Amino acid sequence: MTESDFEYLIRTLSEARSRATELTVAVRSRAGAGHRLGDLGHSAASKIEKLLHNVRVLALDHVEYNPATPAADPAPRAATVVSEHWLQSFIDELTTQLHAPDQVSFETVERLLHQYKRTFLQDLETARRMYRVYPDLFRAEARARQAPVE
By the 8 A CB rule, do 79 and 11 touch? no
- Predicted local distance difference test score (pLDDT) of residue 95: 73
* Reported confidence tier of residue 80, pLDDT bands at 50, 70, 90: very low
Q: Give the per-residue pLDDT at 123.
A: 87
Half-sphere exposure of 133 (CA within 13 A, CB side): 6
Domain ranges of the chain: 1-83
The answer to whether 57 touches 25, Cβ cutoff 8 Å, is no
Please give the Cα distance from 80 to 63 (Å, whole number). Answer: 10
Banded pLDDT at 71 (limits 50, 70, 90)? very low
Q: What angle do CA 16, 19, 24 make, to 5 degrees?
A: 125
Maximum CA extent, the chain: 59
Task: Using the predicted structure, report yes or no on whether residue 24 has a pLDDT greater than 60.
Answer: yes
- Give the per-residue pLDDT at 83: 53
Q: Given this model, what pLDDT does residue 72 score? A: 41
pTM (whole model) above 0.75:
no
Mean pLDDT of 108-122: 87
Q: Average model confidence (pLDDT) for the chain? A: 75
Measured CA to CA, the distance from residue 75 to residue 81 in angstroms comes to: 17
Residue 105 backbone dihedrals phi, psi, to 5 degrees: -130, 165
